[in-house]
Amino acid sequence: MNSQSGQPLESVDLTDARIDDAFWSPRIETVRETTIDFVHERLADSGRIENFRVAAGETEGEFQGRFYNDSDVYKWLEGACLFLVTEDDDGLRERVDEVVDLIAGAQEADGYLNTYFQLVEPDKKWTNLHVLHELYCAGHLIEAAIAHREATGEATLLDVATAFADHIDRRFGPDGEDGVPGHEEIELALVKLYRATDEERYLDLARYFVDRRGAADSRLKYEAFNPDAIAGEPYDHVVDGEEYDGRYFQDHAPLREQETVEGHAVRAMYLYTGAADVALETGDRELVEVLERLWENMTERRMYVTGGIGSSHEGERFTEDYDLPTAESYAETCAALGSVLWNQRLLRLTREARYGDLQSRTLYNALLAGLSLNGDRFFYANPHEMGRDGHPLHDVDPNRFANERQGWFQTACCPTNVPRLLASLATHVYASDESSVYVNHHIGSEATLDVADGTVDVDVETSFPWDAETTVTVTPSEPVTFELALRVPEWCVDASARVAGEPVDATPGEFLRVEREWAAGDEVRFEASFPVRFLSGHPNVESTAGSVAVQRGPIVYCLEGRDSPRPLHQVRLRANGDVAVEHDPELLDGVTTLDLPAFVPDESRWDDGALYRPVSETDVEPTTVRAVPYYGWANRGPDEMRIWLDAESGEHDRPE
Amino acid sequence: MNSQSGQPLESVDLTDARIDDAFWSPRIETVRETTIDFVHERLADSGRIENFRVAAGETEGEFQGRFYNDSDVYKWLEGACLFLVTEDDDGLRERVDEVVDLIAGAQEADGYLNTYFQLVEPDKKWTNLHVLHELYCAGHLIEAAIAHREATGEATLLDVATAFADHIDRRFGPDGEDGVPGHEEIELALVKLYRATDEERYLDLARYFVDRRGAADSRLKYEAFNPDAIAGEPYDHVVDGEEYDGRYFQDHAPLREQETVEGHAVRAMYLYTGAADVALETGDRELVEVLERLWENMTERRMYVTGGIGSSHEGERFTEDYDLPTAESYAETCAALGSVLWNQRLLRLTREARYGDLQSRTLYNALLAGLSLNGDRFFYANPHEMGRDGHPLHDVDPNRFANERQGWFQTACCPTNVPRLLASLATHVYASDESSVYVNHHIGSEATLDVADGTVDVDVETSFPWDAETTVTVTPSEPVTFELALRVPEWCVDASARVAGEPVDATPGEFLRVEREWAAGDEVRFEASFPVRFLSGHPNVESTAGSVAVQRGPIVYCLEGRDSPRPLHQVRLRANGDVAVEHDPELLDGVTTLDLPAFVPDESRWDDGALYRPVSETDVEPTTVRAVPYYGWANRGPDEMRIWLDAESGEHDRPE
């Protein structure tokens, strides 16, 4: 499927858009009020901030933590700055400035900046790209710096970032040293820096990193086979005997030849996002087709129903087609975030609703599950099933594989990632070009967009995700003709819309498009129903066989033990049975619950103590179980949980 | 439930009974012709026989293998001798004599005999009963010695065994040193020795070991907490902080106070068998009641549908009620064997058919699965499900946790155990007292039993286990009145029987009993049907939820991947649907197969590439899968396998 227009959409700047949504605003406020402070304390307690102070020479000390710890500080900084864009906060600004000063102070004269190398291996900079994350950290520095300028109007950190980018640009590229990052991120950051500075070198370097990856004479391969030439240790998991297996970091083939999503899921998402960013700027259609092909492999073979990706904890990676275990699912929160970023770019490149649908699926489910309702507990890996005895991988790592969200992780990528996404959520809602305004998400919000030669204020009011009523009000500076496009999610039924009282076509899975002259106060009134959908997984997926998941609107549901009269293994849902839908404003900060009809064993049949007995139809009795949104699980204490529940596959009449 | 008679039944001697059965005879011949030789070679290759040669001073060398390796030699020897009881074999006799001579030569002057201690820790004999298996090995020596005398009429090995038993009797007991074995076995061996020698000291010592176990001042506990006082290392898994947890070897409480089957399953079975043997000789009713209670806990809470027991590989043990994982099931072959022994004693003590039923379930399923059809491959642990990717515990131990039977194990208990059971199978078929003849199993065979003041020849001809027709012909030396009892298995339906043309009552789950004057050639003609039974597991068993197992007669069936048109996770059985039953004389050395109706996903519904889609009744299509007996699995190469298959629980009409 190709795009409908050769010209990509522009996303809205955060300065021009604002969330005002019954569902999302309280969550964003929690992150602003709780998570940002909480994460800052952890960064300070764990020495991550102190590393910059030591590198700046302000104090004596040794490097603390892991070699990528700078990135956590940058990501927190970016999130904090994004919040400052939309709302002043003197206390937060003070902490931001303090950290910015430390970062600036730590930068070396030639622009280099990485506290691990500066403090631990100063003579071995740039020798181990495949493991040691210098370019990854640089990417997050760049993103933080752009947010900092957007928030403060000051160039302090942007100057640091460009100096480092220039250092990197001098060192790497067609005219310099060969190399690509072991962990992608700098590609998308360089495109962002290009947009922020209009300096084409950054775009060129991003394109170089995208296109150089997977070369036959891979630099990453060289490093893996030459431990004496590099800082630290090489990865052994990219070496298979004499053979190099670069799939872990998407270095197995040039991107343009790749046909399956491979390896570390976060890396893959960041690469694809960076490549899409390059395509957005260069109009590279081939790259778009490659990304569409990879997207189809991911969504048709390697993705959880929540939008979660990267099924295995070994390498935090994609594995094989249809390999999607539920209890051991990795589905890293950061990978979900990466998917949201990638799909934003694909939507802008192609104007196809399916990318907005997947953003929505991922945001409401895979991503949001990573954060506790109170904002200070996190899942790094996201189980899709929890047993009564806890996580099956608990002994591998009790921190990442627990039955409750945790306060922190040695690798703290996820707690520092979620805030920067939620702070910039508004930038995902809108996109536009000179003749179009796209409302990609049914999220209450306002934006001011440049259209034709003027501006249009757009206001979205919605009952999503619990009900499907949305009103989009447009207020152009003067009456103007443009196309207004509103995504009609594929999980809508009986979708309809009216503009100025006139019905317009609204097809689920597509954008509703209305091209007309719009005047101040004109409205698109959209409505649909959200039937409860019982989903089955592809027959090749072993973990979902015989089971169903339940989705309503964008929300994937789960069953927690406390909401079932029986242990979850005893519950067999009556797929497509009558469901009682009710909104409970108190439960889990307000959720719509689903009372699902189910069968459970008639325990009286087992009174004789038998362990095995012949089955009969009357062994079961009807009951009801209450499903809650998956994102809200594990907020009421440890419990068993299942997304996929055993089910009768049809619509039989059963004994009542 | 108590026994119907205070007087226990006697079992038949192997010299007085002979198997002649279409099902069992070929298997017993395979063990005689293949397994006995194969195991002997492994014993020789692995140094287990050589250890005796070195201990005897016939050659120089070091002890090889594990501290319990003597027991494997004794068990092989017992099996070989049991075969010699029923059929001469000069070559085998020669090898037996050679081994017997080595054993006799290795014995020390005071009767002590254990090559590990003699060669490795001669100064630390009897210091580590809880780990180092001296008493366990002694028990197997005694059993081998009794078989040797039965086979040869010679006392060579029995003299060795009694000398060692006397040594042990001098050392341990009320008047000697405190102690019980860490691994039970000697209890049942001492009772057997008492029967063979009429020496009451052996029965007294057996009773001491049974009753002393689980004392508050446990010797095993002392050893576990005093590593400096013992040979080798103590078990750390019986120590929980400051606390002693003796459940692993049933030392947590006196046997008479135990209410649940606990710990290492083989040890538990051997203890209960030994205790039952004591009760058989002493008439101790309390002990019988304790064993009945434990049996009910096992069969109602802690047993696989195959009769397999000991669900966890960690400690090879019983765990909690209803904890019966299928893919990771341990269900050690030796534990199944132990259960067969225990149930034989319980049947003799109580005359209840349920113990014969469980013997039968265990023999045809849990036990027989441990041996390949060709007799030279073995399962130590028995999975109840095998995935396409192999055994989930493969990385723990690729030898024990494989998807095919193996040639040998470092701990070789199972390959040496199965032959001695099959060689003595006839002793399980019959039991009697002066006024009764019990036919406990429908296994073709002949026996001569003492009844009243004469003898009765009994001949059993049967179509079991594939069909339920059995004729028992009795030929008393002269017409005599006695009760003939024939077990009617609980899996029979429409059971009927005639004696001299007259119908007699035949109730499944009970013994059919006919008391009359019997003359030469009188017959009991029994027949019943074996409907296919779809079994469900107790609701508290998580692994069997939503699934059914299929049994016909005593045979539990499984589905192997090659006999299904689809991967097994896609198969949903139509429980209680019409089944085609067919006997295939070629397949797996002759089995009755079951063609089971099932649903599988209609793959055409997934042509659009979707990974998840709303379910509907028409997503499935009917098919047929062919189930084969579980004991025969993994004889046609690696494959996936399931006993428990997802199932519709009722009898719905579904789209055809």
Angle at B83 between CA B81 and CA B88, to 5 degrees: 95
For this structure, is A385 an active site residue? no
Q: Does A612 touch chain B (CB under 8 A)?
A: yes
* Burial status of residue B217 (CB atoms within 10 A of its CB: 0-12, 13-18, 19 or more): exposed
Residue type, B93: R
Q: What is the pLDDT averaged over residues A594-598? A: 97
Q: What percentage of chain A carries pLDDT values higher than 90?
A: 95
CA gap A416, A399 in Å, rounded: 17
- The Cβ-side half-sphere exposure at A178, using a 13 Å CA radius, reads 12
For residue range B497-513, list pLDDT tens digits in order: 999 889 999 999 999 99
Kindly state the tokens that stand for A107.
């930068």
Q: Are B582 and B592 in contact (CB under 8 A)?
A: yes
User: How many beta-carbon pairs below 8 A join chains A and B?
Assistant: 129
Residues of A in contact with B539 (CB under 8 A): 566, 570, 600-601, 603, 606
Sign of CA dihedral B316, B320, B324, B328: negative
Q: Are B593 and B626 in contact (CB under 8 A)?
A: yes
Residues of B in contact with A540 (CB under 8 A): 567
Q: What percentage of chain B carries pLDDT values higher than 70?
A: 98
DSSP result, B494-542: EEEEEETTEEE---TTEEEEEEEEE-TTEEEEEEEE--EEEEEE-TT-S
CA gap A488, A527 in Å, rounded: 10
Indicate if the pLDDT at residue B654 is higher than 70: no
- Give me the catalytic one of A150, A184, A316, A385: A316
- What pLDDT does residue A651 have? 45
B614: nearest CA in chain A?
A: A535
Residues of A in contact with B260 (CB under 8 A): none
CA gap B282, A128 in Å, rounded: 78
| Residue appearing with tokens 């195959």 | B306
Cβ distance of B570 and A539 shorter than 8 Å: yes
Across all residues in chain B, what is the average pLDDT?
95
| Residue appearing with tokens 């508290």 | B540
Kindly state the tokens that stand for B521.
């050639």
B297: nearest CA in chain A?
A: A609
Residues of B in contact with A566 (CB under 8 A): 539
For residue range B271-330, list pLDDT tens digits in order: 999 999 999 999 999 999 999 999 999 999 999 999 999 999 999 999 999 999 999 999
Q: Are B414 and B333 in contact (CB under 8 A)?
A: yes
Q: Which of A299, A535, A540 sits opposite B615 (nearest CB)?
A: A535
DSSP result, A207-224: HHHHHHTT-TT-HHHHHH
- In this structure, what are the phi and psi dihedrals at residue A179, rounded to the nearest 5 degrees? 165, 150
Q: Does A301 touch chain B (CB under 8 A)?
A: yes
- Give me the catalytic one of B81, B137, B334, B413: B413
Beta-carbon contacts of residue B476 (< 8 Å; ≥ 6 apart): B451, B454, B455, B456, B457, B518, B519, B520
CA gap A195, A192 in Å, rounded: 5
A617: nearest CA in chain B?
A: B650
DSSP result, A216-253: TT-HHHHHHH-GGGSSS---STTEETTEE-GGGGT-SS
Indicate if the pLDDT at residue A13 is higher than 90: yes
Q: What is the pLDDT averaged over residues B331-337? A: 98
pLDDT band for position B83 (cuts 50, 70, 90)? very high
Q: What is the pLDDT averaged over residues B125-147? A: 98
Residues of A in contact with B575 (CB under 8 A): 615
* Burial status of residue A193 (CB atoms within 10 A of its CB: 0-12, 13-18, 19 or more): buried
Beta-carbon contacts of residue B410 (< 8 Å; ≥ 6 apart): B65, B66, B399
For residue range A309-337, list pLDDT tens digits in order: 999 999 999 999 999 999 999 999 999 99
For residue range A32-85, list pLDDT tens digits in order: 999 999 999 999 999 999 999 999 999 999 999 999 999 999 999 999 999 999
Distance from CA of A191 to the nearest CA of B (A): 33
> What interface predicted TM-score (ipTM) does this complex get?
0.94
CA gap A194, A68 in Å, rounded: 24
Cβ distance of B650 and A617 shorter than 8 Å: yes
pLDDT band for position B649 (cuts 50, 70, 90)? low
Residue type, A199: E
Q: Are A440 and A429 in contact (CB under 8 A)?
A: yes
Residue A314 Cα distances to A248, A297, A298, B287, angstroms? 10, 21, 18, 52
- In this structure, what are the phi and psi dihedrals at residue B106, rounded to the nearest 5 degrees? -85, -15
- What pLDDT does residue B6 have? 67
For residue range A148-198, list pLDDT tens digits in order: 999 999 999 999 999 999 999 999 999 999 999 999 999 999 999 999 999
Q: List the one residue out of A411, A427, A366 whose CA is nearest residue A183.
A: A411
Task: Classify strands B385-386 and A645-648 as parallel, antiparallel or unpaired.
Answer: unpaired
Q: Are A332 and A411 in contact (CB under 8 A)?
A: no
| Residue appearing with tokens 């549908």 | B305
Q: Does B92 touch chain A (CB under 8 A)?
A: no
Whether residue A392 has a cis bond before it, omega within 30° of 0: no
Across all residues in chain A, what is the average pLDDT?
95
Q: List the one residue out of A296, A291, A294 whose CA is nearest residue A279.
A: A291
CA gap B300, B293 in Å, rounded: 11
pLDDT band for position B651 (cuts 50, 70, 90)? very low
Q: Which of B296, B606, B649 sits opposite A538 (nearest CB)?
A: B606
List B514's β-bridge partners, or say none: B484
Crossing angle for the helix pair B90-106 and B156-171, to the nearest 10 degrees: 30
Q: In what order do the strands lie in the sheet with B436-439?
A: B10-11, B430-433, B436-439, B480-488, B510-518
Kindly state the tokens that stand for A647.
């089910």
Cβ distance of B617 and A567 shorter than 8 Å: no
Kindly state the tokens that stand for B7.
């007087």
Helix (H) or strand (E) holding A624: strand A620-629
Q: What is the pLDDT averaged over residues A216-243? A: 94
CA gap A135, A138 in Å, rounded: 5
Indicate if the pLDDT at residue A1 is higher than 80: no
For residue range B628-641, list pLDDT tens digits in order: 999 999 999 999 99
CA gap A438, A304 in Å, rounded: 27
Q: Which of A299, A649, A652 sits opposite B619 (nearest CB)?
A: A649
Beta-carbon contacts of residue B482 (< 8 Å; ≥ 6 apart): B435, B436, B437, B451, B452, B456, B515, B518
CA gap A559, A166 in Å, rounded: 52
Q: List the one residue out of B280, B226, B227, B218 whose CA is nearest residue B245.
A: B218
For this structure, is B413 an active site residue? yes
- The Cβ-side half-sphere exposure at A268, using a 13 Å CA radius, reads 30
Distance in angstroms between the alpha carbons of the first and the last residue of chain B: 48
For residue range B429-468, list pLDDT tens digits in order: 999 999 999 999 999 999 999 998 899 999 999 999 999 9
Q: What is the pLDDT averaged over residues B532-552? A: 96
CA gap A43, A144 in Å, rounded: 16
> Three-class SS of residue A480?
strand
Residue B165 Cα distances to B154, B209, B362, angstroms? 18, 13, 32
Distance from CA of B234 to the nearest CA of A (A): 25
Residue B327 Cα distances to A312, A554, B379, angstroms? 20, 35, 14
For B232, other C-beta atoms within 10 Å of its C-beta total 14
Distance from CA of A264 to the nearest CA of B (A): 21
- What pLDDT does residue B75 have? 98
Instruction: Give the single-character DSSP code of B309.
Output: B
CA gap B146, B79 in Å, rounded: 11
Distance from CA of B652 to the nearest CA of A (A): 7
Residue type, B280: L
For residue range A411-438, list pLDDT tens digits in order: 998 999 999 999 999 999 999 999 999 9
Instruction: Give the single-character DSSP code of B649.
Output: S
Q: Are B306 and B235 in contact (CB under 8 A)?
A: no
Beta-carbon contacts of residue B98 (< 8 Å; ≥ 6 apart): none
Task: Classify strands A480-488 and A436-439 as parallel, antiparallel or unpaired.
Answer: parallel
Residues 584-603 of B with CB under 8 A from A: 599-601, 603
Q: Does B654 touch chain A (CB under 8 A)?
A: yes
- Best of B611, B623, B630, B645 to substitute, by most chain A Cβ atoms within 10 angstroms, is B611
Q: What is the pLDDT averaged over residues A214-227? A: 95
- What pLDDT does residue B650 have? 53
> Which carries the bigger pLDDT value, residue B405 or residue A452?
B405
For residue range A110-120, list pLDDT tens digits in order: 999 999 999 99
Q: Are B288 and B350 in contact (CB under 8 A)?
A: yes
For A584, other C-beta atoms within 10 Å of its C-beta total 12
A552: nearest CA in chain B?
A: B614
- What pLDDT does residue B555 have? 98
Indicate if the pLDDT at residue A305 is higher than 80: yes
For residue range A360-387, list pLDDT tens digits in order: 999 999 999 999 999 999 999 999 999 9
Angle at A19 between CA A18 and CA A21, to 5 degrees: 155
Distance from CA of A538 to the nearest CA of B (A): 5
Residues 517-556 of B with CB under 8 A from A: 533-542, 545-546, 548-549
pTM of the model: 0.94
Q: What is the pLDDT averaged over residues A199-226? A: 97
Q: Are A553 and A590 in contact (CB under 8 A)?
A: no
List B594's β-bridge partners, or say none: B581, B627
pLDDT band for position A6 (cuts 50, 70, 90)? low
